Chains A and B, each alone.
Chain A
Amino acid sequence: MVAVAAPRQLPRKPLIFAGIVLAWLVLWLVFRNVGTLALGAADLTPLHRWVNDVNDAVGASRNSNPVFLYFFNEIRLVIDEFVTFIQALIAQPSFGRPVPVIGWLGVVAIAGFVSLAVAGWRVALLAVAGFVFLGLQGLWQESMDTLSLTLAAVVISLLIGIPLGIWAGLSDRAHRILTPVLDFMQTMPTFVYLAPLTLFFLIGPASATIATLIYAAPPAIRITAHAIRTVPRTTVEASESLGATQKQTLVKVLLPSARKTIVLGINQTIMAALSMVTIAALIDAPGLGKTVVKALQTLDVGTAFNAGLAIVVLAIVLDRVTTAAASERRTLPRWALFGGLGVTGVCVYLSYTYLWAAEFQSDVEIGSAIRKGATAVTEWAQDSLPVITDGFKDFVTIVLINPLQALLAESPWFLVALVIVALSFMIGGVRPAIVSAVCIAALIATGLWQDSMITLASTLVATILVMLLGIVVGVWMGRSRRADRFIRPILDAAQVMPAFVYLVPFLALFSASRFTAIIAAVVFAAPVAIKIIADGIRAVSPATVEASTALGSSSWQTIVKVQLPMARGALTLAANQGLIYVLSMVVVGGLVGAGALGYDVVAGFSQGQLYGKGLAAGVAIVVLGVMLDRLTQAAAKRWTN
């Protein structure tokens, strides 16, 4: 019935769309480079200066203002203490010792034992091998710093997230209140809240942990609430009918039944935390991320690759352990439990007492080999593949990026504003048009209009590429179970990786440029879009597909006339998610030459006088995100009803 309703109103619309675009092109020719609101890289607006002043004032009053003394500083202190404590245990020299309390042997033993207890011996073996590999890479301390920060953020996230999740699982009202807040937190482009946080918590581990918290707690809350809400009604009723109190039902029925799902939530929290902790290197969080950032800034692909690989190894180990913990009922035999405990105790003691077990020193250091290898491959690729890589790069740059950027960034602002509002109105009606108008006003107010348009162009290009990839691979997966079985694990693995590591190989292939940032964003965003589209195609009723085949449609006709139109909802959702993922890579892309807003944010972290501008750029990214999110959602609503 949906399929019938749509064509009736469609024929006129494309004409109007085409008319708007045509008018835009003509006016662009006329008014080119007029009123573009450009702002030089080092130039500031009064707003930026004012933010700088606020920052300075806040800095000056940090130790006198009561709000800081009794609130922000307290939080910072507690979190710093907590992080420092974990670092003292496993990462940093502490308590007057030249080494951490627990050395590498102890950490490896603990990792192995915990994995054995919750995930079985295979995963335990993987964990041990993974951790030893980190040491062999020559990145033991950096890895442990990253792990410490991740653990600290995860512990705090869960302390906050699980009770909130339980609350939202039990109470409809709590659920109604929390859902929009979580929605907002999750549609926010990931890395932009770093800057405002540093205003209150300074640069360093505390800000990094809090940023990580904001990013990592929502999945824990959401999934816990979901897990509790999906416990079958009868099971709860059965418990009540036997006279259980609310607390008994919660502790004995709801939580145990929801356990597996909650562990999956913990898994997501851990992976999100790891991803964010590495990014938080931008605000001086210690660990592997910092190694990557420094290497990226000097275009040292070898070092970046080695550290990126360490992040991947850490991610794989953490993911495998928590996934396996969620999947099975497991009780370790008593002897294995006590034996393992004993061995772990001995290892911890050794690593506390002897230097060889504390500091990872190895003759078989493979880190330098990896660095050299990666550098060599990079040089080879850049020397011998330029036909392919440069060809592709130039093609996309010339055909897609440049025209779109020219159109958006070189038109007068009022023209772009008019076009966006008109398109919003056509897509969604009055409300989206108003939202777009407000967002445009906000963009202008940030003083970064032209940068925003350049970033918007890159974002749109990346999203188009994501959708192309998503449709091709998603349709393939949706139609073939074998393709699905084969590709899905790869996508799952790709989604687990911290955003950061995507930059490294593309930096090697394409060197620093807008294009590199776009491709990294595409690779980061594609798995989500592909999965959504594949599921959408699969969900199209087989009876309809069969009927179409029975009428003699070719595969192509079935895809284009039946499956894609019927999966419209999934397509718009994929576009929406793709956009959000792409936007969250804007800041990361700033590290490898994306320019515009991404660069503004990154520069704001490192140069005091650009702080205000960086913050404004962060706001601009959020505003772009809100606008695009509302628009795609409005489109989704329009097309699925």
Chain B
Amino acid sequence: MDPVISVRDLWKVFGPNASQLVASDELKALSRQELMDRTGSVAAVRGVDFDVAPGEMFVVMGLSGSGKSTLVRCLTRLVEPTAGTIMFEGENILEADPKRLRDLRRNKFSMVFQHFGLLPHRTVADNVGYGLEIRGVPRAKRAERSQEVIDLVGLSGNEKSYPDQLSGGMQQRVGLARALAGDPDVLFFDEPFSALDPLIRRDMQSEVIRLHREVGKTMVFITHDLSEALKLGDRILIMRDGKVVQVGTGDELVGAPADDYVRDFVRDVPKSHVLTLKWIMRPPRPDDDLDGPELSPETVVREAVRSVLGADKPVKVVRDGELLGVVADEEILGVVAGEA
């Protein structure tokens, strides 16, 4: 399937003469700090490539200052990229004129912000309907659609409240509803739950997972929290100092970290929750008894513990009838013990 979003060699440099900077291979090769010292400019995003598939939940994660917000703002041109291409459904966004850009923002993508960005002088319903109002949707239709999404995000009964009368979690639901109201193809989230306390955050994460399942939209989700990334992401992109360090599924990052930076990152992840059998299986040895139970390579370790430890023979890892490897007690214990 063709990707919805396809980003190639994307650069964003803040500061004077940004476009000349990215034209010079010598300057591009410098580290962020060196570039800062030499030219006084900040390279927030440096040569980023990635694709997002339709319906995917794509997570971008990195520490504070790594350039995540800048990256996601480049995708909607809230920040003007310095160089590169961003293809959206086959169209290069960087070539869109202001009118086309507005059309895209009105119909194709929308964004949820860390600090909500609600309009304090409008009720919940009017906040949710704001995007439609801007497009010129008539009032009655607006009200109907707003009500739909308000119900969808579980805010029914609060339509007439003002943002400052709501808790943080509820305010972000308004932000979510506002983004959903225009029925966009892609939703961007910039650390939407960082300002919420942990319990509410967990609720909201489940909410997003539910919405993703129900409405099936493509989502690009920014976070600095690895457990959030692992919980939500189909695939995860790890950024450091504006560069991509690794892109992959959760178990790929944990099972095969690209470098020490990523390894450090995922060190404290409970591996049994993330790794699947394919990461821990070994080739069968001659002395193995090969008539034990079978499991798929996609089975998460945690869920295989009981079967493996309960069986007195190694468990066979099988895909489409083909034997890929075996897992015995010591492999399982190696993972579980490593977490203690």
Contact = CB atoms under 8 A, between A and B. Distances in A.
A241 B134 contact: no
B217 interface: no
A243 B188 CA distance: 14
B70 to A, nearest CB: 13
Nearest to A258: B121
Given A237-B78, A256-B121, A245 B102 contact: yes
Interface in B26-46: none
Given A248-B134, A252-B130, A252-B134, A240 B115 contact: no
A234 interface: yes
B272 interface: no
A474 B178 CA distance: 48
A248 B102 CA distance: 12
B259 to A, nearest CB: 34
B114 interface: yes
A257 interface: yes
Interface in A221-264: 232, 234-245, 248, 252-253, 256-257, 259
A238 B117 contact: yes
A238 B178 CA distance: 10
B105 A243 contact: yes
A234 B78 CA distance: 11
Contacts of B130: 239, 242, 252
Interface in B113-135: 113-122, 130-131, 133-135
A234 B106 contact: no
B105 A259 contact: no
A257 B114 contact: no
Contact of B119 (A237, A240, A253): A253
Interface in A126-150: none
The CB with the most chain B CB atoms within 10 A, among A235, A236, A242, A252, is that of: A242
A244 B104 CA distance: 11
B119 A243 contact: no
Contacts of A240: 78, 105
Contacts of B120: 257
Given A234-B114, A237-B78, A237-B113, A242 B131 contact: yes
Contacts of A243: 101-107, 131, 134-135
Given A243-B104, A243-B106, A243-B135, A257 B121 contact: yes
B6 interface: no
Contacts of B81: none
B119 A256 contact: yes
B133 to A, nearest CB: 7
Q: Which of A236, A238, A248, A256 has the most CB of B within 10 A?
A: A238
Contacts of A252: 119, 130, 133-134
Nearest to B116: A234
Contact of B117 (A232, A248, A256): A232
B182 interface: yes
B111 interface: yes
Contacts of B76: 241
B218 interface: no
Given A242-B182, A256-B119, A257-B120, A234 B113 contact: yes
Size bracket, chain B contacts: 20 to 34
B110 interface: yes
Interface in B163-194: 175, 178, 182, 188
Q: Which of B78, B118, B134 neighbours the largest number of chain A CB atoms within 10 Å of its CB?
A: B134
B116 A257 contact: no
Contacts of A245: 102, 134
Given A237-B78, A237-B113, A242 B119 contact: no
A234 B163 CA distance: 15
A256 B126 CA distance: 13
Contacts of B121: 256-257, 259, 329
A232 B182 CA distance: 23
Contacts of A253: 119
A245 to B, nearest CB: 7
A257 B164 CA distance: 13
Report which residue of A234, A236, A253 has the largest number of chain B beta carbons within 10 angstroms of its beta carbon.
A234
Contacts of B117: 232, 234-239
B119 A235 contact: yes
Given A248-B134, A252-B130, A252-B134, A241 B119 contact: no
A234 B182 contact: no
Contacts of A238: 111, 113, 116-118, 175, 178
Nearest to A238: B117
Contacts of A329: 121, 162
B102 A235 contact: no
A232 B105 CA distance: 20
A232 B119 CA distance: 10
Contacts of A237: 73, 78, 111, 113, 117
A235 B171 CA distance: 13
A257 B178 CA distance: 18
Contact of A242 (B110, B114, B118, B122): B110
B88 to A, nearest CB: 14
Interface string B131-164: 1011100000000000000000000000000100
A206 to B, nearest CB: 39
Contacts of A241: 76, 78, 105, 110-111, 188
Contacts of A256: 119, 121-122
Nearest to A256: B121
Nearest to B111: A241
A237 B78 CA distance: 7
Interface in B79-105: 101-105
Nearest to B102: A243
Which of A240, A248, A257, A329 gathers the greatest number of chain B CB atoms within 10 Å?
Answer: A240
Contacts of B115: 232, 234
Contacts of A244: 102, 134
Contacts of A239: 117, 119, 130, 134
Interface in A410-452: none
A129 to B, nearest CB: 32
B42 to A, nearest CB: 17
Nearest to A242: B131
Contacts of B110: 241-242
B207 to A, nearest CB: 19
A248 B113 CA distance: 20
A240 B188 CA distance: 14
A252 B127 CA distance: 11
A355 B133 CA distance: 52
Contacts of B188: 241
Interface in B285-322: none
9 residue pairs, one from A and one from B, having the closest CB atoms: A238-B117, A243-B106, A243-B105, A234-B117, A242-B131, A241-B111, A243-B102, A256-B121, A235-B117
15 contacts: A234-B116, A234-B117, A235-B119, A238-B113, A238-B116, A238-B117, A241-B188, A242-B106, A244-B102, A244-B134, A248-B134, A252-B119, A252-B133, A252-B134, A257-B119
Given A232-B117, A242-B178, 15 more contacts: A234-B117, A235-B119, A237-B73, A237-B78, A239-B130, A239-B134, A240-B105, A241-B111, A242-B105, A243-B101, A243-B131, A252-B130, A256-B121, A257-B119, A257-B121
